[in-house]
């Protein structure tokens, strides 16, 4: 009986502890949206490297490998923290890596002719994942609260934290599959899509940082968030999933071109 009780407490602890990434549905939605924006030629090259697995399928690989200590060094690559109103470069870079350095490393490896097929596949999976994480505002958060992970509050009367609300609680509450979410995005004009694609990595980092400030202001520690929060904040979640998908497709399209001025410029000036 006692051991059963301990097992119950342990399982409960495992499932309630902070999972610091968009949940599975968020990542898969971004992968599925990206696929809709890829041309056939690029999609074929990617499919070959991924053994025909979809971007939605591979999008959570980088979280799954967190259970293997061999991959511990990738953990800090999922986010970047620096103070609001500061510039990324003004702040000492995390020597263990961050999402900016992580995305750059992925691009360099995918484009390197000397990298094996297996390793290229690994870096595509990682890129799909990290571009997704970049669009969760709290992955560009404050170090002192671990991107909102230590801001404890409640989600519909259950213990949670601000980071988790943005990673997964709102998306899970919506009860749509990743395919349903990816098939029900906002209708955007060509001009708007081009506007979303424009800019470089650091522009997207600062965009998330600005949104993170709004997210921090949206809830107080200890608050119980329910319908009203969902009503006001979920449109931003949907917008970020769509932006993430569009930008991921754009990056992959450029990365897979033999000669891409965009990629060169992108890497030279992040």
**Residue ranges in contact with ligand ADE by CB under 6 A:** 20, 78-79, 81, 138-139, 141, 146-147, 149
Supply the minimum distance, in Å, between the C-beta of residue 20 and ligand ADE: 3
Q: Residue 126's CB: how many other CB atoms inside 10 A?
A: 24
Residue whose CB is less far from ligand ADE, 43 or 132: 132
77 binds Zn ion (CB under 5 A): no
First vs last Cα of the chain: how many Å apart? 57
Span interacting with Zn ion, options 2-10, 66-74, 126-134, 262-270, rule CB under 5 A: 126-134
In a 10 Å sphere around its CB, with 0-12 CB exposed, 13-18 middle and 19+ buried, how is residue 34 labelled? buried
Name which of Zn ion, ligand ADE, none residue 167 binds, using a CB cut-off of 5 to 8 Å depending on partner kind.
Zn ion
Supply the minimum distance, in Å, between the C-beta of residue 168 and ligand ADE: 12
Name which of ligand ADE, Zn ion, none residue 146 binds, using a CB cut-off of 5 to 8 Å depending on partner kind.
ligand ADE
Name which of ligand ADE, Zn ion, none residue 79 binds, using a CB cut-off of 5 to 8 Å depending on partner kind.
ligand ADE
User: What are 22's strand-pairing partners?
Assistant: none
Left, alpha or beta for 120 (phi > 0: left; psi -120 to 50: alpha)?
Answer: alpha
Residue whose CB is less far from ligand ADE, 20 or 31: 20
Residue whose CB is less far from ligand ADE, 20 or 244: 20
């Amino acid at each position: 009986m006692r051991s059963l009780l301990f097992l119950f407490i342990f399982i409960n602890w495992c499932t309630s502890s902070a999972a610091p990434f968009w949940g599975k549905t968020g990542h898969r939605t971004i992968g599925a949206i990206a696929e809709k924006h890829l041309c056939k030629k690029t999609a074929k090259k990617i499919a070959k490297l991924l053994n025909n697995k979809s971007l939605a399928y591979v999008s959570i690989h980088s979280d799954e490998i967190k259970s293997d200590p061999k991959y511990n060094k990738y953990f800090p690559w999922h986010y970047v923290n620096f103070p609001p109103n500061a510039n990324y470069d003004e702040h000492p870079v995390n020597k263990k890596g961050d999402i900016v350095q992580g995305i750059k490393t992925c691009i360099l490896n995918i484009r390197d002719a000397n990298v094996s097929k297996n390793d290229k596949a690994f870096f595509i999976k990682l890129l799909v994942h990290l571009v997704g994480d970049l669009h969760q505002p709290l992955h560009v958060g404050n170090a002192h609260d671990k991107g909102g992970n230590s801001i404890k509050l409640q989600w519909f009367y259950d213990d949670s934290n601000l980071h988790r609300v943005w990673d997964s609680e709102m998306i899970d509450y919506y009860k749509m599959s990743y395919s349903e979410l990816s098939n029900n995005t906002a209708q955007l004009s060509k001009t708007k899509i081009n506007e979303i694609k424009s800019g470089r990595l650091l522009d997207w980092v600062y965009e998330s940082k600005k949104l993170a400030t709004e997210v921090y202001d949206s809830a107080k520690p200890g608050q119980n968030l329910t319908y009203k929060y969902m009503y006001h904040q979920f449109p931003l979640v949907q917008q970020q999933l769509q932006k993430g998908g569009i930008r991921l497709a754009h990056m992959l399209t450029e990365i897979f071109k033999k000669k891409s001025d965009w990629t060169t410029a992108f890497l030279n000036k992040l």
